[in-house]
Structure 1
Amino acid sequence: MKQFNQGRHIHGYPPVGEASRRLGLYLTGAGYEFIKPGDPYPLPSHPELYAFTWQRGRTLPEYQLVHIAAGAGEFESEATGHIKLEAGMVIMLIPDVWHRYRPDPSTGWESHWISFDGELPHLWGNACVIAPETAIWSPDSKLELSNRYQEIINLVVNQPEHVSTAATALALSLLAMVLGDRLALQEQTDTTLNPLLAREVSDPMVAKALKMIWTHSHRGLSVPKIAADINANRRTLERRFAQVRGRSVLSEIIDCRITRAKRLLIETHLPIKRVAYGVGFSSPTHFAVSFRRELGLTPATFRKRFRKRPTR
C-alpha cells in the first residue's frame, strides 16, 4: 500500500480485497489535509489518478466524499456551477463528472476524505440518493463525522492488513451517517411528493393522472397530454380530478413542480434558473410568478430563509 505523509498531510491508497468487493462497496483511499492560509494547493503528493490543478480540474473514475472540517473555500462542477464552501460541508464527488475545489487562501482548511466504489454507490445514484446536482450539503453530527473519518484514516495508514473489510465497514457507517439526514428528509416528504402514498385514490382515471404528474412533471407535461396518454377525455378527466382532489389538473402539476423546487432550493446550490427548468417550468419568470403566488415569497427569499446553514 502506498502511503504519503507530509507533516499534517496523510494519505493512504490500499489494495482492494475480494471480500470488500462482495460487500458491494470497497475503499480505495483515505486522507487528511491541513492547509494553512497561503499554502499552495493542491498538494503534489497524490498519485496521478487523483492529481489536479485549479486550471484544468479533474474527473474521477470512482466516488469520493470530502469533509471540510474547518476553514472555507470554493467548489465548481459541471452540475452545480460555482459554490462557496464553509466548515461542516461535505462534497460527494461522482465518477466522470468534471470538478475542482480549493481552500480560501485567507483561511486555509482542514479536510478529510475517502474514495470508494462498488455496486452500492451506483445503486444509490440510480435511486437519486446521491447525484451531481446535489453534491454539497451540511450533515448533522459533525464532531462524530470527524471522528469516524479519523478512524478510517488511522486504519488505512497504520493497519493496512485490516483495511479490506474493517475499513469498508467503517466507510459504510460513515456514508450512512452522512446520507442519513437526506434520506430522513425524503421519508418525511414522501407523502407530499406522491399523493398516492398519502391516501388511496379509488378513481382509476385520477390515479393514473396523479401517477403521471408526480413521475413526469419535470418534463413538458400538459393537461391534453395527460388525457391522451391515459386514454381519457380531457373534460371528463378534469371533472373527475376536481371531484377527487378538490383542484384542477393544472394546479396539481404546478404544485408538484413547486414542491420539488422547494427541496432543490433548500438542499442544493443550483442557480434558480436551473431549478426552474429542472422541475418543469417553461421559464424562470413563470417559475417565480407561480412560486410567489403559492408561497408569498420569491424563490430567492425562500432559499435564504429556509436553507440549512452549517453550524460553526
Structure 2
Amino acid sequence: MFAFFDIEELNPAMPPTANSFSRYLPTDQQAKAWGWRLVHAGRQTVPPHSRYPSKGHPLDYLFDKDGRRTLDEFQIVFISRGSGTFESQKQAKTTVRAGEAILLFPGEWHHYQPATETGWSEYWVGFRGREADRIMRSFFSADTPICTVGQSDALIQHFDQILYWLQMTVPAKEQILASHMPLALAFLKSGALTKDSPQSKDGELVIQAKATMLANLETNTDLEALSQQLGVSYSRFRFAFKKQTGYAPRAFENIIKLNCARDLLLRERYSVGETANALGFSTVYYFSRAFKKHFGQSPQQWLRQHMD
C-alpha cells in the first residue's frame, strides 16, 4: 500500500493549505478487522483553466491515457463549489454541480473533471471493508452515482473532521477515522430522499406516527384513526410503517412502551402495577408477559438485577 503522503508537502505550487490537503494511509490490520477502513482523504480547490488532476497523487489514482480510471475501493467525491462532468461504465457523461457528490465503485471505470471555465472545490474520501461492502450494496448503486446532498454544510464539517483526525497522533486513530464513514454515507442517503420521493413521503408519515405514539403512551393508539389523520388508508399506513421500521405499528408501539417501562421501574420507582397502568396495558399480567417476552426476564427479575 502507500506510506503517509501529503499533497501539500509534495507540491507547494498548489493552492493554499486552507484549501488543499490529502493523505494516503498504509494498510492497518486492526482497521481491516473493524469492518470499515479509510484509505485516503483530501480536499482541493482547482481554479478555472487549471490542470486536472493536480500533481502529487500516487500513480494508481491517476487517469490512464484514455482518460479513465478503475479503482479497487469506494470513493465519495463531493463538489462544494463550481461544476464539471462525470462519466462511468454505467453513467453517460453528465454535468456535476456544487452540492452534489459522486460515488465511485470498485471495478467500475470512471472519469470526472472540473469545467475549464469554473474550476471546482472538492472533498474526497476512499474507503473499503466488510461493512462498507454491505452498506454500499444495500443502499447505493453504480447505476445512480450522482447524489444530491441535502446537508451540504454538515457534510463539509464532517469531511473537515476526517481531515483533522488524519493529522492527529492518537491511539485507535484508524478506527476513529473509519467510523466517520457510515455518517458520511448517511448524509448522502438523506439527500437522496427528496421531499417528492415516495420513500420520503413514507418516512414523513412514519415520523408523524411515531410522534403520536410517543405523545400518548398512556393509551393504545387508534391506528385506523391515525392513518385517516395522516391521509392514507390503514393498509397503506401499515405497509409503509413496517417497510420503514421492520415492525407492524402496534408491535412498534409496544416496544416503545416496554423501553419506557424500564425507566419507570428503575428511575421513577413505579411498582409493576403502576407501570402497567401508566403505559396503557390492560392488565398487569399482560404487561408482565410482554415485558418477559421482549427482555427475557419478568419486570421483578429485571428490576432486582438492576437494583444491585
TM-score computed with the length of structure 2 as normaliser: 0.57
2:6 counterpart SS class: strand
Structure 2: distance between partners of 1:108 and 1:163 = 33
Give matches, 1:1-312, under 5 Å. Answer: 1-5=4-8, 6=11, 7=14, 8=16, 9-52=20-63, 55-127=66-138, 129-159=139-169, 163-182=173-192, 187-188=199-200, 198=236
Distance 1:55 1:92, change over 3 A: same
Distance 1:125 1:168, change over 3 A: closer
Structure 2: distance between partners of 1:95 and 1:190 = 32
Structure 2: distance between partners of 1:52 and 1:160 = 34
Contact 1:89 1:137 in 2 (8 A): yes
Distance 1:35 1:160, change over 3 A: farther
Quote the RMSD (CA, aligned, Å).
Answer: 2.9
Contact 2:147 2:191 in 1 (8 A): no
What percentage of residue pairs aligned between the two structures are identical? 25
Distance 1:106 1:160, change over 3 A: farther
Structure 2: distance between partners of 1:13 and 1:92 = 19
Count of aligned pairs between the two proteins: 198
Query: What CA deviation, in whole Å up to 9, does each residue of 1:133-173 have, x standing for no partner?
Result: 11002121101111111111222245486530111122222
Structure 1: distance between partners of 2:35 and 2:238 = 36
Distance 1:199 1:156, change over 3 A: closer
Query: Highest relative contact order (Cα 8 Å, sep 6+), 1 or 2?
Result: 1
Query: What CA deviation, in whole Å up to 9, does each residue of 1:180-200 have, x standing for no partner?
Result: 343686744779xxxxx8489
Unmatched segments (≥5 aa) in structure 1: 192-196, 202-312
TM-score computed with the length of structure 1 as normaliser: 0.57
Unmatched segments (≥5 aa) in structure 2: 204-234, 240-308
1:122 counterpart SS class: helix
Distance 1:24 1:159, change over 3 A: same
Contact 2:75 2:126 in 1 (8 A): yes
Structure 2: distance between partners of 1:73 and 1:54 = 20
Structure 1: distance between partners of 2:125 and 2:56 = 16
Contact 2:84 2:96 in 1 (8 A): yes
Structure 2: distance between partners of 1:68 and 1:40 = 17
Residue identity matched to 1:10: F
Residue identity matched to 1:177: F
Distance 1:139 1:200, change over 3 A: closer
Contact 1:42 1:53 in 2 (8 A): no
Distance 1:200 1:163, change over 3 A: closer
Distance 1:54 1:179, change over 3 A: farther
